[in-house]
Structure 1
Amino acid sequence: MHERPPTSMVFYRPIEAAIRWTGLLRHEQEILSAISSPRNLPQTLDYPRWDDLLLCMDRIYDAVIHRELPYGQNGVTLNDESLIDSTELTVRHTDLKRWMRTHYPEHRPGFLFSRSERIAHPFITLEAGQAMLIERQAMKAELEQCRRQMHALREQHESFLKQSVLISACQQCPISDRAETTYLNIIGGMLTLMLGTSPAGKAYSSFRTQEAVVSALVAHHQSVMGITERTLNGKFASAKRRLSSANA
């Protein structure tokens, strides 16, 4: 029975680091026996997460080649490019941990980080958190705007429904010529009275012109159907003509 290899070491060969990174430490001896060269791993091997191991190996060697991760031999850091293809290439535990914290902050493998570090570590970087906060604020503002628009549309819809009911009622009960004449006579008489004066010359109201009456009606009842400047002026003109004809 093989002795279980240590989880953490002072330095690692890239294959040893990749095995620990992917959680395949219990298969380390079998994997090392099955490969001929750490730089030329088989694309398929009957181990779980083998594809992940290949990816981790590529990441480590990529960092070494681009000088993001210090490397050396037997744990001694050296600036010797000939070691890159050597089976004696090693990376120190502290350098590997620093590199992973910088370039893969969402990863916290147990061979590099303690349990307390893994628990305390925020899996969201500061930049990502700020971006999420800005996006949340923008979505909140957009949601509030949508709520206001929905409220305005609901009020508009209710107003249209009321107008539709009134129009439908008017269509179902059309006004007769006699009734229309009566209404116009009343409107004409009231308008003449409002703009007229007593025999002593005192004004019956504070309104001096028809335009003033129209403006006041629109200002106070603009949401009521028919209370518009154009409609009022038209009705008032018809009412005055009808009243003048009746008095002739």
Structure 2
Amino acid sequence: MEAAIRWAGLLRYKPMIISAITLPNCLPQTLDCPRWSECCLYMERIYDGILNTELSFGKNGITVNDPDLISSPDLTIRHVDLKRWMCTHYPEHRPGFLFSRSERMAHPFISMETGQALLMERLALQAALDGTRSQMQELQVRHQALLKQSTIQGAAKQSVISDRAETTYLNIIGGMVTLMLGQSPSGTPYSVFKTQESIVTALLAHYSGTMGITERTLNGKFANARKNVHSAVP
């Protein structure tokens, strides 16, 4: 009964279920708890395995396969025997009390828990990608504003920039480029760009002719920026 309760995921209802049972293999037809029909089905499967000598059993954790124990409340099933039997006869089931999380994740059948975990990871990656795109757009807007400001101030002031400001921009650019070329802990890329060259090509395709948007300038700035931000990381 303990195995059937855990198999159905009803461990918190165990006291109520146990108190409602008069005989070990005689369950009430209805009970005020969820998935009771599943619990009854799993109980029947376990007894079917025992009766057909597919599942070893015993008493107090010692395997004896004594038929007199089948109707006894002292009947026990070893963890390893139950796991082996379930793998053979019900391979699509991977209850948490028998199988580790890695075993459930590696199984070809995707459980609800696994599906939810994958969905949450996908949503997190999508949010990170959207954030990266937003930051890149903001950076492009700021870059355009700086270019316009430099044009208004004149050629004499275009090269005037403090060391602190230059470091800030290099850190921002280096962080963005590194993030765009990186991937999540699970191995999913944060963007469609695989190399620095692909980013440069895309910028040239969209902003060719804009001051500073040249292959040589971009490659130089990106290299310096990535080197700068990496050296700044503790």
TM bucket, shorter chain? 0.3 to 0.5
TM-score by length of 2: 0.46
TM-score by length of 1: 0.43
Structure showing greater relative contact order (alpha-carbon pairs closer than 8 Å, 6 or more residues apart):
1
Which of these two proteins has the greater Rg computed from alpha carbons? 1
